[in-house]
Chains A and B, each alone.
Chain A
Amino acid sequence: MRSVVDMPSSGTILADVRGLVVRYGGIAAVQGVDISIRAGEAVAIVGPNGAGKTSLLSAIAGIVRPSAGSIHIGGKPLAGFALSDVVRQGVALVPEGRNIFGSLTVLENLRLGATPRLDASVAADIDRVLSDFPILGERRDQPAGQLSGGEQQMLAIARAMLSRPRLLMLDEPSLGLAPAIVDRVYDLLRGIRSQGVSVLVVEQNAARAFAFADRACVMSHGVFTLTGTPGEIGSDAAFDSAYFGVAMAENGGPV
């Protein structure tokens, strides 16, 4: 299978991934991916389960070490940072399943989101979150595990945003949520983007991601098989086969 290289057209490059390979034991989950994300843009990575999307995000977040290739954040190599320092470079992750701290209160979850910050406006920012999301405000002192799935997703995104990231990454933000709640999640992401924060979203729900993103990459078997604007990809006849992981190499590939 041939892979395609994602290159943004212009603008400051915030995250730059070159030739990324992620292996777990003998299995290569990501097999040579290039992607660049500019300041302020929204990028979607779609693809079937097991395509390597989560591994790619985990590598950019510093959770897994790549076997080959490089990741630069704001021009600095990620390899030089401990996991807990990646967020200090402006990269925040909302992982699949949200991973809020269920035994901690809503307020405590939010305070943890601001861990890297030393400035004095943390308390004011948390107050704003609690008033912007009345349900979180009402339940600020309750264990976050008691929130509904949609509320937990809002909390997870708000928590990530309290680190004041330059790049917000989300893994399957619509997973397991009712369509009306997914609308709210994407409305929230649009608002975040309009503040100039880059958003990288990984989705199986391609329609949602395409409606949101400036650019999209289709991932299958550890490589990008298509990149372009959501419009271009959606009308590409190869999209269905790429998305569903049909062996395109046999057919000569999509590009």
Chain B
Amino acid sequence: MIGQAIQVLVDAVSVGGLYSLTALGIGLIFGVMRLINFAHAQLITIAGYALLVLLTPSAVLAVLGAVVAAVLLALLVERTAFRPLRGADPATLLIASFAVSFFIEKVTIMLVGSRPKGVDFLPALAGQVEIAGVRLQLLQLVTIVVSVVLLVTTTWFLKSTRLGLEMRAAAENFRMAEVLGIRANRVIATAFAISGLLAAAVACLFVAQTGLVQPRMGLQLVIIAFVGTVIGGLGSLPGAAIGGFLVGVATILLQALLPPDLRVFREAFLFVAVTVVLLFRPQGLIPARGLRERV
């Protein structure tokens, strides 16, 4: 019984970590640009396909390729689609973000087809380990460790580096940051590069779990993670990470605790929970400061 509970807990934490990383990637971009970047889904997807293509030579090369592909696509999207729209109103940015997301998805389908492809990425991680009498999947432990390391590293970057300080300032009041001499292009490009890096990490972990890549693989992750950023408080980075984590945990706990007949409706329960949270805390669990633009 306790063993089972620990298994569910580990499962919940590992899925929570995955959503947390995704939500953080979305939250970083929203923070500095007030843009909800649905094309984050395609960053995950392209990283997945980079794994597929480069896995044959070596797994290390595949991971590096995934990172490079996602970061380059993130920078390309920023430069070509979002930079000309900087300062546009949020509705325009949202529509543009949908457009970019659909565009890349359709191009991907054109190039590689819409059917899922199997990727035997890091099969060794599918094995089980026994810790104190509880059998756990190695991959879930790796997912938790990678999530923690990336969350800690991102936090360190934001708290302890000059560029991180500039990003936090820009996230609170972009205009004032520019008045003080902070260069918008540098801060925004950095945010996109980090979101690409996080997307690549999510892709690696997700592909290792599912063993598949397909053109819509990023979308479901991004939709659920986006819900997480809203619960956490749009514009707040700790909020995004925690909100994403909670949504992931809730998904698994609902799966485990709901009576079997109701399990198919677990997303409905999830969204009811989200609605309740927002009824009581419309600004999210950790509200962001300074969502105003005026100087």
Contact residues of A with B, CB < 8 Å? Answer: 58, 61-63, 82-88, 93, 95, 97, 99, 101-104, 108, 111-113, 115-116, 145, 159, 163
Contact = CB atoms under 8 A, between A and B. Distances in A.
B289 A95 contact: no
A83 B168 contact: no
Contact of A101 (B169, B178, B181, B295): B169
A112 B177 contact: yes
A101 B179 contact: no
Q: Which of B166, B290, B295 has the most CB of A within 10 A?
A: B295
Interface of B is mostly: helix
A108 to B, nearest CB: 6
Given A99-B295, A103-B290, A83 B169 contact: no
Q: Which of A84, A88, A93 has the most CB of B within 10 A?
A: A84
Contacts of A116: 181
A102 B180 contact: no
A95 B181 CA distance: 14
Q: Which of B166, B172, B184 has the most CB of A within 10 A?
A: B172
Contact of B165 (A84, A102, A111, A163): A111
A104 B183 CA distance: 18
Contacts of B106: none
A83 B295 contact: no
A102 B178 contact: no
Nearest to A58: B295
B147 to A, nearest CB: 24
Interface of B: 165-166, 168-169, 172-173, 175-184, 289-290, 294-295
B168 A104 contact: yes
Contacts of A113: 180
Contacts of A104: 165, 168-169, 172
A112 B180 contact: yes
A50 B172 CA distance: 27
B295 A112 contact: no
A95 B176 CA distance: 9
Contacts of B166: 112, 115
A175 to B, nearest CB: 14
A78 to B, nearest CB: 13
Nearest to B175: A63
Nearest to B171: A103
Nearest to A109: B169
Given A101-B290, A103-B289, A112-B169, A83 B180 contact: no
Nearest to A171: B295
A163 B177 CA distance: 13
Given A87-B181, A111-B165, A163-B181, A99 B289 contact: no
Contacts of A159: 180
Contacts of B177: 112
27 contacts: A61-B179, A82-B183, A83-B184, A84-B181, A84-B183, A85-B181, A87-B179, A87-B180, A93-B179, A93-B295, A95-B179, A99-B173, A101-B176, A101-B290, A103-B168, A103-B172, A103-B289, A104-B165, A104-B168, A108-B168, A108-B169, A112-B166, A112-B177, A112-B180, A112-B182, A115-B181, A163-B180
Contact of A115 (B173, B175, B182): B182
A116 B177 CA distance: 12
A12 to B, nearest CB: 24
B178 A83 contact: yes
Contacts of B295: 58, 63, 93, 95, 99
B181 A88 contact: yes
A116 to B, nearest CB: 4
Nearest to A88: B181
B289 A145 contact: yes
A84 B172 contact: no
Q: Which of B169, B173, B178, B181 has the most CB of A within 10 A?
A: B181
Contacts of A97: 294
A159 B176 CA distance: 12
Q: Which of A87, A99, A111, A116 has the most CB of B within 10 A?
A: A99
Contact of B180 (A58, A103, A115, A145): A115
Contacts of B183: 82, 84
A84 B178 contact: yes
Shortest 8 CB-CB contacts between residues of A and residues of B: A115-B181, A116-B181, A87-B181, A103-B289, A99-B176, A83-B178, A95-B295, A84-B178
A108 B165 contact: yes
Contacts of B176: 95, 99, 101
B123 to A, nearest CB: 44
Given A84-B179, A99-B295, 15 more contacts: A63-B179, A83-B179, A84-B184, A87-B180, A93-B179, A93-B295, A97-B294, A101-B168, A101-B173, A101-B290, A103-B289, A104-B165, A108-B169, A115-B180, A159-B180
Q: Which of B165, B169, B175, B179 has the most CB of A within 10 A?
A: B179
